[in-house]
Amino acid sequence: MSVFTTITYAKEGPMGVVRLARPQTVNAFSVRMRDELVEALTAVRDDSDVRALLLEGEGRGFCAGADLSEFGTAPSQAIARRVRFQRDVFGLMASLPVPTLAAVHGACLGSGVELVAACDVRLAADDASFGMPETGWGLIAAAGGTQLLPRLVGQGRALELLLTGRRFSAIEALSCGLAHRIVPRAALGGEARAWLTHIIEAPAPALATAKRAVNELADLPLAEALAGEERLARLLGVGGPLR
Partner 1 sequence: MFALTPAKDGLTATLALNAPSGHRDLPSACEGLPEGVRAVVVTGFAGSPKDAPAALLAGLAVPTVAWVDGDARDHAAELALACDIRVLAPGASMALTQVRAGALPSDGGTQRLVRLVGRAHALRLLLTGDALGADEAAGLGLAQAIGTLADAGALVGRIAAGGPLATAYTREAVRAAGEVPLAEGLRLEADLAILLHTSADRAEGLAAFLERRSPHFEGR
The CA distance from 105 to 131, in Å, is 13
Number of residues that bind partner 1 (CB under 8 A): 45
Out of 134, 191, 216, 229, pick the active-site residue: 134
Minimum separation from the CB atom of position 112 to partner 1 (A): 16
- Spatial contact of 12 and 193, defined as CB atoms under 8 Å apart: yes
Report the residue number, 95 or 197, with the smaller CB distance to partner 1: 95
Q: Does 86 bind partner 1 (CB under 8 A)?
A: no
- Quick one: 65 exposed, middle or buried, by C-beta within 10 A (0-12, 13-18, 19+)? buried
Q: Does 67 bind partner 1 (CB under 8 A)?
A: no
The CA distance from 146 to 138, in Å, is 15
What are the residues whose beta carbons fall under 8 Å from the beta carbon of 148, sequence distance 6 or more?
114, 117, 118
Is residue 95 within a helix (H) or strand (E), and if so which, with residue range? helix 89-95
CB half-sphere exposure, 221, CA atoms < 13 A: 2
What are the residues whose beta carbons fall under 8 Å from the beta carbon of 188, sequence distance 6 or more?
56, 103, 105, 123, 125
Minimum separation from the CB atom of position 3 to partner 1 (A): 29
CA angle (27, 30, 32) in 5-degree steps? 110
Out of 36, 56, 114, 229, pick the active-site residue: 114
User: Which one of residues 92, 139, 232, 233 is an interface residue with partner 1 (CB under 8 A)?
Assistant: 139
Task: Cite the beta strand spans of 126-239 per DSSP E.
Answer: 129-131, 168-169, 181-183
Q: Does 151 bind partner 1 (CB under 8 A)?
A: yes
User: Which one of residues 11, 81, 181, 231 is an interface residue with partner 1 (CB under 8 A)?
Assistant: 81
Which string of x and - marks every residue 21-60 that binds partner 1 (by CB under 8 A)? ----------------------------------------
Report the residue number, 82 or 231, with the smaller CB distance to partner 1: 82
User: Which one of residues 38, 43, 74, 174 is an interface residue with partner 1 (CB under 8 A)?
Assistant: 74
**Coil, strand or helix: which one is 134?**
helix
Does the annotation count 114 as an active-site position? yes
| Stretch of residues binding partner 1 (CB under 8 A), selected from 10-18, 56-64, 181-189, 218-226 | 218-226
Does the annotation count 56 as an active-site position? no
The CA distance from 106 to 136, in Å, is 21
| Stretch of residues binding partner 1 (CB under 8 A), selected from 41-49, 161-169, 192-200, 204-212 | 161-169
Report the interface residues with partner 1, using CB under 8 A: 68-69, 71-72, 74, 77, 80-81, 84-85, 91, 134-142, 144-147, 149-151, 153-160, 162-166, 175-176, 218-220
